[in-house]
Structure 1
Amino acid sequence: RGSLSASRALHHQLLDNVLHLPLQHFETNPVGQIINRFTKDLLIVDLRFHYYLRTWLNCTLDVIGTILVITYASPLFIVVVIPLGYFYFTIQRYYIASSRQIRRLAGASHSPVISHFSETLVGRSTIRAFGHQERFIRKNNDVVYENLVYFYNNVISNRWLSVRLEFLGNLMVFFAALFVVLAGDTVSSSTVGLSISYALNIIQSLNFWVRKACEIETNAVSIERVYEYAKMDKEHGKLQSLSENFLFQVGIVGRTGAGKSTLTNCLFRVLEGSEGKIIIDGIDISTIGLHDLRGNLNIIPQDPVLFSGTLQSNLDPLGKHTDLELWEVLELCDLKDFVQSLPRKLLHEISEGGENLSAGQRQLVSLARVLLRKTKILVLDEATASVDMETDNLVQSTIKREFYNCTILTIAHRLHTVMDSERVLVLDSGRILEYDTPHNLLQQKGAFSEMVAEAGI
Structure 2
Amino acid sequence: PGLVSSSWPEDGHVVLENYQTRYRASLDLVLRGVSCDIRGGEKVGIVGRTGAGKSSLTMALFRLIEAASGRICLSGQHIAPLGLHDVRGKLTILPQDPVIFGGTLGMNLDPLGEKSAVELWEALEHSHLKTFVQSLPDKLDHECGEGGKNLSMGQRQLVCLARALLRQSRVLVLDEATAGVDMETDELIQKTIRREFRACTVLTIAHRLNTVLDYDRIMVLDSGHIKEMDSPRNLLADKNSAFYSMARDAKLV
TM-score, normalised relative to structure 2: 0.85
The aligned runs of 1:106-117 (5 Å cut-off) are: none
* Partner of residue 448, structure 1: 243
Partner Cα separation in structure 2 for residue 347 and residue 243 of structure 1: 33
Change (3 A) 1:238 1:325: closer
State the one-letter code of the partner of 1:451. M
The aligned runs of 1:211-250 (5 Å cut-off) are: 237=1, 239-241=3-5, 242-245=8-11, 246-250=40-44
Secondary structure (helix, strand or coil) at the match of 1:356 reads coil
Q: Which has the higher helix share?
A: 1
Partner Cα separation in structure 1 for residue 104 and residue 117 of structure 2: 13
Secondary structure (helix, strand or coil) at the match of 2:55 reads helix
* Partner of residue 285, structure 1: 79
State the one-letter code of the partner of 1:387. V
The structural deviation recorded for 1:263 is: 0.5
The aligned runs of 1:297-336 (5 Å cut-off) are: 297-336=91-130
State the one-letter code of the partner of 1:305. V
Partner Cα separation in structure 1 for residue 60 and residue 10 of structure 2: 18
The aligned runs of 1:406-425 (5 Å cut-off) are: 406-425=200-219
The structural deviation recorded for 1:288 is: 1.5
Q: Which has the higher strand share?
A: 2
The structural deviation recorded for 1:436 is: 0.6
State the one-letter code of the partner of 2:170. K
The aligned runs of 1:189-208 (5 Å cut-off) are: none
Partner Cα separation in structure 2 for residue 363 and residue 432 of structure 1: 29
Q: What runs of 5+ residues in structure 1 fail to find an aligned partner? A: 1-236
Q: Deviations over 1:40-65 (max 9, x none)?
A: xxxxxxxxxxxxxxxxxxxxxxxxxx
The structural deviation recorded for 1:442 is: 1.3
Matched, 1:360 2:137: no
Contact kept? 1:240, 1:289, Cα under 8 Å: no
* Partner of residue 405, structure 1: 199
Partner Cα separation in structure 1 for residue 2 and residue 108 of structure 2: 29
Partner Cα separation in structure 2 for residue 436 and residue 378 of structure 1: 20
State the one-letter code of the partner of 2:107. S
Whichever of the two has the greater Rg, that structure is 1
Contact kept? 1:238, 1:287, Cα under 8 Å: no
* Partner of residue 14, structure 2: none
| Structure with more relative contact order (C-alpha pairs < 8 Å, separation 6 or more) | 2
State the one-letter code of the partner of 1:367. L
Partner Cα separation in structure 2 for residue 377 and residue 243 of structure 1: 8
Query: How big is the alpha-carbon RMSD for the aligned residues of Structure 1 and Structure 2?
Result: 1.1
Partner Cα separation in structure 2 for residue 350 and residue 239 of structure 1: 38
The structural deviation recorded for 1:238 is: 5.7
Post-superposition, which runs of at least 4 consecutive aligned residues in structure 1 deviate over 6 A? none
Secondary structure (helix, strand or coil) at the match of 2:68 reads coil
State the one-letter code of the partner of 1:454. D
Residue 168 (structure 2) aligned to one of 371, 374, 377: 374
* Partner of residue 26, structure 2: none
Q: Deviations over 1:96-145 (max 9, x none)?
A: xxxxxxxxxxxxxxxxxxxxxxxxxxxxxxxxxxxxxxxxxxxxxxxxxx
Secondary structure (helix, strand or coil) at the match of 1:329 reads helix
Contact kept? 1:239, 1:292, Cα under 8 Å: no
